[in-house]
A and B are shown apart, each in its own frame.
Chain A
Amino acid sequence: MTDTLESQAGEVLLEVDHVTLRFGGVVALNDVDFHIKKGEILGLIGPNGAGKTTCFNAMTGVYRPTEGEIRFDGQQISGRKPHHITALGIARTFQNIRLFPEMTALENVMVGTDARHKTSVLGALFKVWPRVRVDDVDLPRNRVKRAFSQTFGVSRHYAEERAGRRVAMGLLRFVGVADRANELAKNLPYGYQRRLEIARAMATEPKLLCLDEPAAGFNPAEKEELMGLIRKIRDRGLTVLLIEHDMRLVMGVTDRIVVLEFGTKIADGVPSEVARNPKVIAAYLGEPDDAA
């Protein structure tokens, strides 16, 4: 069964290779071993305290595994600095939304686009060098400046600011926050904030997008909408790792599911298969709230 799946979805993007994580005497992750393949939506589920977020944090560099390693695109990532991991192509959202509250929605996303930009501090200071060519849409409107830019090119800072703004607006439109782009993040309604966080993460141009309980606090209609969004994200060529509580959401959208309980992997397979797994059923019976 696993063999056929692998052949369907191509190469492995992220590999969690027998990872164990201990805090003092507590074993948070015990020999967890799974992988994500390019272009799939993987669900990582488990009851509260199963170690989902811990696993997630290990993948994004917050914790360093005690044993085993995590490889992304063939590169070791365990123990790297968070911004290096972002540069490699992993982006994430937070379970308890962590936007930059005093920045506008647009600025929040632009922080994300900056991750791929090359403007240095000196470049931003002097705006002289290096110079690049840009498309006509990005040229300044003022006629004199336009002519100058056509002859000498524009500074990279200018080009990247323009491109960043355009990309950010595009992403805001994609997640449906564009209508309130210039409002402060903290003034946005809850659903907007969740989606804004996804846009901000996508702005870093990741290969793998990790969503940490993105549907928490949503009503069923919003959840439905979110599932559509996640599929659309995958259709843009991103691989998605979805950590979720809500089985129904996970079942509806994921290609494959990994189930954790007490820091140990108890199941790994396609949704229908996992749903029938007696261990998984047992684990979830202990927590009736999650059925909702």
Chain B
Amino acid sequence: MPEISELWKSVNLRERWETAPTWVRMIVSGILLAIAIYLPFLNVLPFAYIRTDLSTGGSDWSGVLTTIVIYMIVATGLNVVIGMAGLLDLGYVGFYAIGAYSLALFGSPDSPVTHWFADKFGLSEGWSVPFVACVPIAIAIALAAGVVLGAPTLRLRGDYLAIVTMGFGEIIRIISRNANGLTNGPNGITNVPTPPGPKDPDTGQPFFNPIDGYRWYWLCLAVLILLIWLVRRLEYSRVGRSWLAIREDEDAAAVMGVSGFKYKLWAFAIGAAVGAIAGLLFGSKQTFVEPTGFALNLSFLFVAMVVIGGSGNMVGALFGAFLITYLPERFRGLSDWRPFCFGVALVLVMILRPQGLIPNRRRARELEDRRLEAEEVATDD
């Protein structure tokens, strides 16, 4: 077994990738993208074994892929907050819910909000805000929520921030459950709009319908790639440097002119907006939102995605999101044993590989240093 891991180390993919010429990287990225696009139609044995719909009682493969990509978007956003800015947010599901509910409240003809608008302004029955207009609304509401939550709490120390954000996530869920007049309460909101597109001429189904799941998958994939591209821009700019500086030494960063509060708040708001986009896609794909879909343990799941993959590293976070969404679907046969296995896996991964599966290089080094330091202390005794 050590041979295998040695072999893996000697391959040293990361080094090779980073030193590869641009054209090699572009071709490899292109191939990866092509594979990603082709994935819903993958039906060649033995590769088709990765599909989730071949086993009895399995889920639709495109549907699972879409969910995976939506959670990857979540991981991308949360990675900004946790991995880059170093803020522990245990209420991320709150922003996810805000995204889904914003779309439902303004875009669904069944929501109390659109009813109220229709009554107030004498609009026609079944009036609602079009999907395209709901997107900026959702992002704006999420940004505002991020700022409202962050402004008073970001001055708190890390662990206090964790509990306050956790409370925020719960408050969002409870309000969406209890405020019957605003959100339909526990019954949720149906007829959440889907993105516009040409109607299917044969069936009259909208372009984005659940049967043609690959369209959803491609849409979400496009959004994911766009968001990754944008987040990478931030990472390699003044903003990313400031986040890193704050994470490393907040006082020194302040003396170098970095306003810790401002950049933390930005990280929070950007994370909130990305989370809302993911939630919006989720609500739209589902065409139905209800409060139980935004329970607290989803927040923990999100954090686990980022950490298990490798905090601070985008590829790691994406990989974590993939594993945590895909494995339970693929191994449906384990049914009631899945949470147990998940728990064992979490503990094992953390103990054996605390830097995450695909760690951020900086984080990995940091961890290695801490380990060595601990060993030194131990030998000093």
A residues contacting B by CB (< 8 A) are 60, 81-83, 86-87, 91-92, 94, 98-103, 107, 110-112, 114-117, 119, 121, 124-125, 127, 157, 160-161, 164, 184, 186, 200-201, 204
Instruction: Tell me the residues in window 338-381 of chain B with beta carbons closer than 8 Å to chain A beta carbons.
Output: 362, 365-366, 369
What's the Cα separation between A164 and B233 when bound, in Å?
16
For B249-261 the 0/1 string (1 means CB < 8 A from A) is 1011111111110
Q: How far is the CB of B40 from chain A (nearest CB, A)?
A: 31
What's the Cα separation between A83 and B238 when bound, in Å?
15
CB nearest to A210 among chain B residues: B255
Q: A83-B257, A112-B257, A114-B258 are in contact. Are A103 and B249 (CB under 8 A)?
A: no
CB nearest to B363 among chain A residues: A102
What's the Cα separation between A72 and B237 when bound, in Å?
31
Q: How far is the CB of B292 from chain A (nearest CB, A)?
A: 34
Contact yes or no, B233 A100, CB < 8 A = no
Q: How far is the CB of A122 from chain B (nearest CB, A)?
A: 10
What's the Cα separation between A200 and B248 when bound, in Å?
15
Listed from nearest, the 4 A-B pairs whose CB atoms lie closest are A115-B257, A86-B257, A124-B237, A82-B254
Contact of B252 among A94, A102, A124 (CB under 8 A): A94
Q: How far is the CB of B239 from chain A (nearest CB, A)?
A: 5
What's the Cα separation between A100 and B247 when bound, in Å?
9
What's the Cα separation between A114 and B236 when bound, in Å?
13
Contact yes or no, A114 B241, CB < 8 A = yes
Contact yes or no, B252 A99, CB < 8 A = yes
CB-CB under 8 A from B256, the residues of chain A are: 86, 91, 111-112, 114-115, 200-201, 204
Contact yes or no, B257 A87, CB < 8 A = yes
Contact yes or no, B257 A100, CB < 8 A = no
Identify the interface centre among A82, A99, A200, A204: most chain B CB within 10 Å of its CB: A82
**For the complex, is B234 an interface residue (Cβ under 8 Å from A)?**
yes
Contact yes or no, B233 A111, CB < 8 A = no
CB-CB under 8 A from B249, the residues of chain A are: 98-100
Contact yes or no, B248 A100, CB < 8 A = yes
What's the Cα separation between A81 and B266 when bound, in Å?
18
Q: How far is the CB of B164 from chain A (nearest CB, A)?
A: 23
What's the Cα separation between A111 and B234 when bound, in Å?
14
**For the complex, is B244 an interface residue (Cβ under 8 Å from A)?**
yes
CB-CB under 8 A from A86, the residues of chain B are: 254-257
CB nearest to B230 among chain A residues: A125
What's the Cα separation between A94 and B260 when bound, in Å?
19
Q: How far is the CB of A68 from chain B (nearest CB, A)?
A: 22
What's the Cα separation between A91 and B252 when bound, in Å?
11
Contact yes or no, B238 A117, CB < 8 A = yes
**For the complex, is B242 an interface residue (Cβ under 8 Å from A)?**
yes
What are 8 pairs between A and B in contact, CB < 8 Å?
A82-B251, A82-B254, A99-B252, A103-B245, A115-B257, A125-B234, A127-B233, A157-B237
Q: How far is the CB of B2 from chain A (nearest CB, A)?
A: 28
Q: How far is the CB of A171 from chain B (nearest CB, A)?
A: 13
Q: A186-B369, A204-B256 are in contact. List 16 more A-B contacts (CB 8 A).
A: A82-B255, A83-B254, A83-B257, A83-B259, A92-B255, A98-B252, A102-B365, A103-B245, A110-B241, A111-B241, A111-B245, A114-B256, A124-B234, A157-B238, A161-B237, A164-B238
Identify the interface centre among B238, B245, B248, B266: most chain A CB within 10 Å of its CB: B238
What's the Cα separation between A204 and B255 when bound, in Å?
10
Contact yes or no, A107 B266, CB < 8 A = no
Q: How far is the CB of B136 from chain A (nearest CB, A)?
A: 14
CB-CB under 8 A from B242, the residues of chain A are: 111, 114
What's the Cα separation between A200 and B254 when bound, in Å?
13
Identify the interface centre among B234, B239, B249, B255: most chain A CB within 10 Å of its CB: B255
CB-CB under 8 A from B253, the residues of chain A are: 100, 111
Q: How far is the CB of B254 from chain A (nearest CB, A)?
A: 4
Q: How far is the CB of A23 from chain B (nearest CB, A)?
A: 18
Q: How far is the CB of B184 from chain A (nearest CB, A)?
A: 35
Contact yes or no, A81 B237, CB < 8 A = no
Contact of B234 among A87, A100, A107, A121 (CB under 8 A): A121
CB-CB under 8 A from A204, the residues of chain B are: 256-257
Contact yes or no, B259 A81, CB < 8 A = yes
What's the Cα separation between A218 and B317 when bound, in Å?
44
Q: How far is the CB of A80 from chain B (nearest CB, A)?
A: 11
CB nearest to A116 among chain B residues: B257
Q: How far is the CB of A166 from chain B (nearest CB, A)?
A: 15
What's the Cα separation between A175 and B249 when bound, in Å?
23
Contact yes or no, B255 A107, CB < 8 A = no
CB nearest to A184 among chain B residues: B365
Contact yes or no, A100 B266, CB < 8 A = no
